[in-house]
Amino acid sequence: MIVCQHERQNYKNPGNGYTVAVYRTRERNKIPAPAIKADKGNWVSFTAVGMELPGLEHVDIELEGTWEDRERFGKQLKVEGFRVLLPKTRQGISSYLSSMVKGIGPVLAETIVNRFGENTFGVLDREPERLLEIKGITEAKLETIRESYGASGEIRELMACLAPYRVTPKKAEKIKEHFGLEAVSLIRRNPYRLCEIKGFGFLTVDPIARASAGFAPEAPERVKAAVWYVLEEAQKEGHLYLDSGTVIQKAEQLLNKGFGRGRVERSAVIRAGNEMVLKERALQADGNAIFLSRNREAEQTAARNLARLLRESKHGFDVERELEEVQAELGIVLAEKQKEAVRMVFRSQVSIITGGPGKGKTTVLGVILKLFERKEPEKQVLLCAPTGRARKRLSESTGYPALTIHKALYLTGEDEALPDDEALEEDLVIADEFTMADMWLAGILFSRIKSGARLVLVGDVDQLPSVGPGSVFKEMIDSGVIPFTVLDVFFRQAKDSRIILNADLINRNQRALLFGEDFQFHKAEDDKEAAQIIAGLYEKELRNFGGNGDMVQVLSPLRVNTEAGVNALNRRLQEIANPGTLDKGEWRCGSITYRTGDKVMQTQNTEEISNGDIGLVTGIAIQPDGGREMSVCFGEVERKYQEEELAVLDHAYATSIHKSQGGEYPVVIIPVLKCFYPMLKRNVYYTGVTRAKIRVHLVGSRQALAIAISNTDAGKRNTLLALRLQKEMERQRLEAVPPAA
C-alpha cells in the first residue's frame, strides 16, 4: 500500500477506463529504484496503470498493486485497488469538494475552505446548515450538497470493499444504485451478488471471490451465480430460456473447471436451481424451460396483452367504399394482397403485414392512414419504430410524424424491469420494422395499448431477428392467432432494380444473381485484399456523391478479428473520409481517434438519442477545467459528450449488418468472405443487400456468397411466445363463455 498524490494523467481509454497516470509519494522506500521517474527532494514520482485511477489533486490516495516491468515503459505499478483518503490540507479539501461533491465548483470550494479551513469536513459532517452562511448557497443547493457529500463517503467505503475487483467509481455508483444502502454489507457477505450487475460476469467475480472471501467450489452462492451466468449468456444468443438439462450441464462444466470433474456435484446445481425458482424467484420455470424471471414476465406480458387486444373484435367495420375512394384520390390501384392487408387492419384489432422490399408495404400504410382519417376523424394515430433511423424512414415514406418506440413509451434507457405506466391515448398504433423489437420492448408496447385500439405490426420476417432476446415478429405469425398478410407481388419500379430482384433470389435460395451497374461483385482472395478493394470503392463512391458520407455505407457481418470487420474498416475509411489536418479538432481515446467531421453512431438509448442513430461530430473543445467535450449533431438534436460518455459512440463509416437494420442507404458495400464462416447465412446477407437503394457492391468470394445463400440456419431461438399466445387466447375465450344454467 502506497500513500501518494496524483500528479498528471498520461492516458485514459474512455471505453473501459484504463488509465496511465503519474503519482508522487513521500514513501520512497516503497518505490523500486527503476520505477522512480523524478526525484524532488521529499517526493518521488512513479507511473501507475489500472482502471479508472483517481485524478484528485492535493488529495492523499492509497494505491495497492504489484510492480511490473513493461517492455517499452519500464517498471510501473499495476494497481489492483485504491482508496481516496479525506484530505487535511486546504488545497486538498478544496480539490476534493470541487471534484467529488455535486453543486460545488472550484470557486465555491475555495470560498467554503476560506470560511471553515481545516474544519470543513467537520462542518459538513455535523453542522451542514452553516454552509448557508456563504453567499450563493440556498436551501435547495444545500440539500444537493448534503446528499452528494454523503454519497461520496458511501462510494469511498464501497470502493474500498470492491478494491480486489478493480471497480471504477462509475461502476461503483451503479452498484450502489442497484443494492442501495446495504451495498457494502451485501457484497462483503456474498460477492457473487455482483453478477447481477451488467459488466460483472461469473468469470470475473469467481476467482476473486474464492481468493479474497474463501468461498468453496461447491458454495451455494457460487453455484447460483454460475446458473445465473449460464442463462445470461444464453440470452446474449437470443434465447429467452434453456431447458433444465442444458442449464445443469453447462453450470456443472463451469463450476468444475480447474478443479477436476465431480468436485461440484450435479445434485448441488439442481438444489441451487430449485432454490432460485421456488424461494428466491430469480428464475422461473415452465416445465423444463428455465427462464430468468424478467424474460418470462416479458413473454407473459406480451401474450396476455396481445390476447386482450385481439378479444376486442366488436370494433371491426367494412371499408370497401372508402378503399375505392382513397385509391382514386391517391391515383393508385392496389394489388389484391395489398387490399386484403388494408381490410384486415379494420377487421381485427391486431394485424401483421410482412413482405420484402418492392412489395408495397409503404403504399399499404399510406392507404391505411387515409382510411383511418375518414372513418375515425376524431381519433389519434401513433407511428413508431424501434430505432431512430427506422423512425425517420417511416416518417419520410408516409408523410406523417413518427417516434421511436422508446420515446413513445417514455423509456429513457435500456431498462430491465417492465415499467408500469398508463395506456397510450392513440386509437391506431402502427409499429414498423418490428422484426427488430425484442421481447422486453414488445411486452411494454403491447401492455400500453388501450383496449379497443388497433395495432398494426409491419416488417420483413426474412430479415435478421432482434439483437435482444426473443423472436417476437416470427412467433406472432407462427402462433396462427393473429391475422397476417404476406405481400408477395413486385411492383413495376421494383422490377427495374437488380437490388430488389436479387434480394428475392437470395431469399429463394437462387445463387445465379443478376449483376450490372446497380449490383456488382468484386473478387478478393482474403480479408486484406477485400479491405483494400472496399477502401477504393468507398473513395470512388464518396466522390460520386460530392463527399457526402451519408450516401455510402459499408456493412460487415463481423466487428473484430478480421481486416474486413467493422472496427478495422472504420480506421481505414476514416482516413479517406475525414483525414487529420492541423486545423481540425482531434481527440485520441485509446485506439480510437475522434475528429471534427467524423461520422459516428450512438450505441445506447437515451432520452434524446436512440440506439443506432448516426450523427456528425461538429466540434471538440477544451473545457475550463482542462477536460474535453465533443459535440455531435443528430439531425435536429445536438448532444455534448464528456470523456466518460464516449464509450456509447462508435465510428459509423462501417457498421455491422445487424446494426444497419431499419436504415436505408443509396450505396452499400458488403464483404463476403470464407473467414466470415459463422456469419455466412442467408438472412444476414439478405438484410445487408436490402439496405441499399441505388447500388450494392459485394466484395470477396463467390463461393462464400453461395454458402451464405444456401445456409438457411437463422439460429433457432428458445421462446414460448407462440404457444403462450395460443393458450392465452383459449383461456380468455373460456373465461368469456357464460356458465351453463
DSSP sequence for 215-267: --TT-HHHHHHHHHHHHHHHHHTT-SEEEHHHHHHHHHHHHHTTT-TTSS-HH
- pLDDT confidence tier of residue 680, bands split at 50, 70 and 90: very high
Give the count of alpha carbons within 13 A of 432, CB side only.
30
Dihedrals φ, ψ of 126, to 5°? -115, -25
d(CA 61, CA 78): 15
* Exposed/middle/buried for residue 674 (C-beta within 10 Å: 0-12, 13-18, 19+): middle
Q: How large is the average pLDDT for residues 283-311? A: 95
d(CA 444, CA 429): 14
Residue type present at position 650:
D
At 652 the pLDDT is: 94
- Calculate the CA 361 to chain-centre distance: 28
Percent of the chain at pLDDT above 90? 51
Contact 103/148 with Cβ under 8 angstroms? Answer: yes
What is the three-class DSSP state of 14? coil
- pLDDT confidence tier of residue 467, bands split at 50, 70 and 90: confident
Digit-coded pLDDT (tens) for 217-271: 899 999 999 999 999 999 999 999 999 999 999 999 999 988 877 788 999 999 9
* Exposed/middle/buried for residue 156 (C-beta within 10 Å: 0-12, 13-18, 19+): middle
State the DSSP code for 453. -
At 413 the pLDDT is: 62
Percent of the chain at pLDDT above 70? 93
Q: Which of 147-161, 186-200, 302-316, 468-482 has the highest mean pLDDT?
A: 468-482
b vs e for 59-69, b when ≥16 Cβ sit within 10 Å of the residue's Cβ?
bbbebebeeee
b vs e for 226-244, b when ≥16 Cβ sit within 10 Å of the residue's Cβ?
bbbbbbebbbeebbbbbeb
Please count the other Cβ atoms lying within 10 Å of the Cβ belonging to residue 187: 20
Q: Does residue 281 have a pLDDT over 90?
A: yes
At 11 the pLDDT is: 83
At 493 the pLDDT is: 63
d(CA 238, CA 230): 13
Q: Does residue 299 have a pLDDT over 90?
A: yes
d(CA 182, CA 482): 47
Percentage helix, strand, coil for the chain under 3-state DSSP, each rounded to 5: 45, 20, 35
At 420 the pLDDT is: 61
- pLDDT confidence tier of residue 741, bands split at 50, 70 and 90: low
Q: What are the cell numbers at 530?
A: 477485400
Q: Which of 131-135, 335-339, 530-534, 732-736 has the highest mean pLDDT?
A: 530-534
**What is the average pLDDT score of the chain?**
87
Q: What are the cell numbers at 511?
A: 445463387
Full strand arrangement of the beta sheet holding 241-243: 241-243, 289-292, 283-286
Full strand arrangement of the beta sheet holding 484-486: 403-404, 381-385, 428-431, 454-459, 350-354, 484-486
This prediction's pTM: 0.78
The residue among 343 and 316 whose pLDDT is bigger is 343
Q: What angle do CA 454, 457, 462 make, to 5 degrees?
A: 165
Please count the other Cβ atoms lying within 10 Å of the Cβ belonging to residue 642: 12
What is the three-class DSSP state of 417? coil
Q: What are the cell numbers at 66?
A: 504489484
Digit-coded pLDDT (tens) for 547-595: 999 999 999 999 888 999 999 999 999 999 999 888 888 888 767 889 9
Q: Give the pairing type, strands 381-385 and 403-404.
A: parallel
At 429 the pLDDT is: 96
Residue with cell 436451481: 273
Q: Does residue 96 have a pLDDT over 90?
A: no
- Give how far Cα 682 sits from Cα of 510, 668, 696, Å: 11, 17, 16
- pLDDT confidence tier of residue 160, bands split at 50, 70 and 90: low
Please count the other Cβ atoms lying within 10 Å of the Cβ belonging to residue 532: 15
Q: Does residue 195 have a pLDDT over 90?
A: no
What is the three-class DSSP state of 673? coil
Dihedrals φ, ψ of 240, to 5°? -90, -20
